Amino acid sequence: MMNYFERTQKAFEHYKATPDALILGIESSCDETAAAVLRGGREVFSMAVHTQIPIHRLYGGVVPEIASRSHTERITAVVEEALEKAGVGLPDIGAIAVTCAPGLIGALLVGVSFAKGLALAADKPLIGVNHIEGHIAANYLTYPDLEPPFMCLVASGGHSHIVLVKDYDEFELIGRTRDDAAGEAFDKVARALGLPYPGGPEVEKLAESGNARAYPLHTPFNSDLSVYDFSFSGIKTAVVNLMHNAQQKGDEPNRADIAASFQHSVVETLTMKSVQAALDRGMGTLALAGGVSANKALRERLQRECDKRGLRFCRPDMRFCTDNAAMIACQGHYRLLKDQRSDLDLNPSAESFLSR
Ligand code: KG4
Ligand code: ZN
């Protein structure tokens, strides 16, 4: 009797040889349960997302146990919705891609277990996908002609990396945050300013009416372009202290000015370091990825700097910026084409594979 891996070998060969094959993506690493169907790896047929933001907002951040339970409750309906929207059934799907790391371990476990069950039941090849690689792949969905190599700035809630994308499955970590991720800093500053979770979009909105030069929040480490690493905990703490001191004195600080100054500092650091990395490594393209890529100030600043320095700038369409399954399906597609696939012993991991 053939085991799962042997049984699905033919389906795997067929997927690789069929340019318009369909792939189902599943994502459950944090607070979004998502599924998507893609054709040929880059054409998005459907997307379904159930966001848990309203649930976690009550607690001011993601509560891991609540996230896992919500994924368990929703995942079947979300996958069905993606298939239905695409107008296909499970038999039409050529392969299944699922986020397996990094993220909340209990949350990842829901998606990985579900995907393994589906792959086994329907005899479909399976591929475990790194979430950060997925964020990078969101750019392939936006630019049909984009191919490695290129430099990529990944700024999400859990990670901030400058990554050299050498090939679809080959990455070199060039720089990273020494402490808080960019999105995490946005979320913590939002909390200090009395804004709800997730803080990024809220800080961005408040910053629009503020003066970015009101509070100089720059640090020497972030201004040093000979180091690609950056650090956000210092400016985050500066904002928290500003609010604290003002409250103790009974002052009402200008929150919009603080939000604008903070955002300006983060945007300058991310822009200047990633552009420098792209130029130093001889890359013609700089891409942006991760939840913070939805930030308009960052998108505009990077576009301007790339124009000035002769670089092509790529950033995902807004619908691919925050967590979604289309980007996971896309990255899974390229891993499959590189002859990589997972067996049923695929396990989730809270840690990233991208390390130096
Ligand atoms: O990539 P993502 O959806 O989840 C992780 O993989 O972490 O990123 C979520 C993060 C949150 O920290 C959120 O505050 C931030 O992205 N974010 C933003 C914006 N939209 C989302 N940060 C700044 N400006 C935004 N417009
Ligand atoms: Zn993410």
Tens-digit pLDDT profile for residues 288-316:
999 999 999 999 999 999 999 999 999 99
Asked whether residue 48 falls in the same domain as residue 63, the answer is yes
101, part of any domain: yes
- Tallying the residues shown for the chain, one arrives at 356
Can you give the pLDDT at residue 353? 64
pLDDT of 234 over the 80 cut: yes
Cβ pair 161, 178 in contact under 8 A: no
CA dihedral over 41, 43, 45, 48, signed as positive or negative: positive
Mean pLDDT of 334-356: 89
342, part of any domain: no
- Give the confidence band of 354 by pLDDT, cuts at 50, 70, 90: low
- Give the confidence band of 212 by pLDDT, cuts at 50, 70, 90: very high
- Give the confidence band of 352 by pLDDT, cuts at 50, 70, 90: confident
Can you give the pLDDT at residue 123? 97
346, part of any domain: no
Asked whether residue 17 falls in the same domain as residue 160, the answer is no
352, part of any domain: no
pLDDT of 35 over the 80 cut: yes
**Angle subtended at Cα 167 by Cα 280 and Cα 177, rounded to the nearest 5 degrees:** 55
Asked whether residue 72 falls in the same domain as residue 192, the answer is no
Mean pLDDT of 246-256: 91
Residue 45's domain comprises: 4-137+322-337
Asked whether residue 209 falls in the same domain as residue 284, the answer is yes
**Average confidence score pLDDT of the chain:** 96
User: Which residues form the pocket of ligand 1, taking CB atoms under 6 Å from any ligand atom?
Assistant: 30, 156-158, 183-184, 186-187, 198-201, 204, 290-292, 294-295, 322-323
Query: ω before 144 within 30° of 0 (cis)?
Result: no
Which-ligand-closest: CA of 182?
1
What CA–CA distance (Å, rounded) separates 326 from 134? 8
pLDDT of 22 over the 70 cut: yes
CA dihedral over 255, 257, 263, 266, signed as positive or negative: negative
Can you give the pLDDT at residue 99? 98
pLDDT of 355 over the 70 cut: no
CA of 21 to the centre of ligand 1 (A): 31
Asked whether residue 198 falls in the same domain as residue 63, the answer is no
Mean pLDDT of 329-346: 98
Mean pLDDT of 189-205: 96
Query: ω before 198 within 30° of 0 (cis)?
Result: yes
pLDDT of 151 over the 60 cut: yes
Mean pLDDT of 157-161: 93
Asked whether residue 311 falls in the same domain as residue 327, the answer is no
Mean pLDDT of 162-175: 97
Q: Whose CA is nearest to atom 5 of ligand 1?
A: 157
116, part of any domain: yes
Asked whether residue 228 falls in the same domain as residue 104, the answer is no
Can you give the pLDDT at residue 351? 87
**At CB < 8 A and 24+ separation, what contacts does 90-93 make?**
90/118, 90/122, 90/124, 91/122, 92/22, 93/22, 93/23, 93/24, 93/37, 93/122, 93/124
Asked whether residue 99 falls in the same domain as residue 174, the answer is no
Asked whether residue 159 falls in the same domain as residue 41, the answer is no
Which of 161, 186, 295 to mutate to test ligand 1, by most ligand atoms within 8 A of the CB atom? 186
Number of domains in the chain: 2
Q: Which atom of ligand 1 is nearest to the CA of 29?
A: 6
| Domain containing residue 69: CATH number | 3.30.420.40
Can you give the pLDDT at residue 349? 93
Angstrom CA distances, 69 to 65, 80, 158, 266, stand at 6, 18, 21, 34
Can you give the pLDDT at residue 167? 98
pLDDT of 263 over the 60 cut: yes
What CA–CA distance (Å, rounded) separates 145 from 96? 24
By the 10 Å C-beta count (0-12 exposed, 13-18 middle, 19+ buried), 244 is classed as exposed
Asked whether residue 24 falls in the same domain as residue 67, the answer is yes
pTM comes to: 0.97
Asked whether residue 154 falls in the same domain as residue 279, the answer is yes
CA of 248 to the centre of ligand 2 (A): 37
12, part of any domain: yes
Asked whether residue 12 falls in the same domain as residue 127, the answer is yes
95, part of any domain: yes
28, part of any domain: yes
Tokens of 333: 């597609």
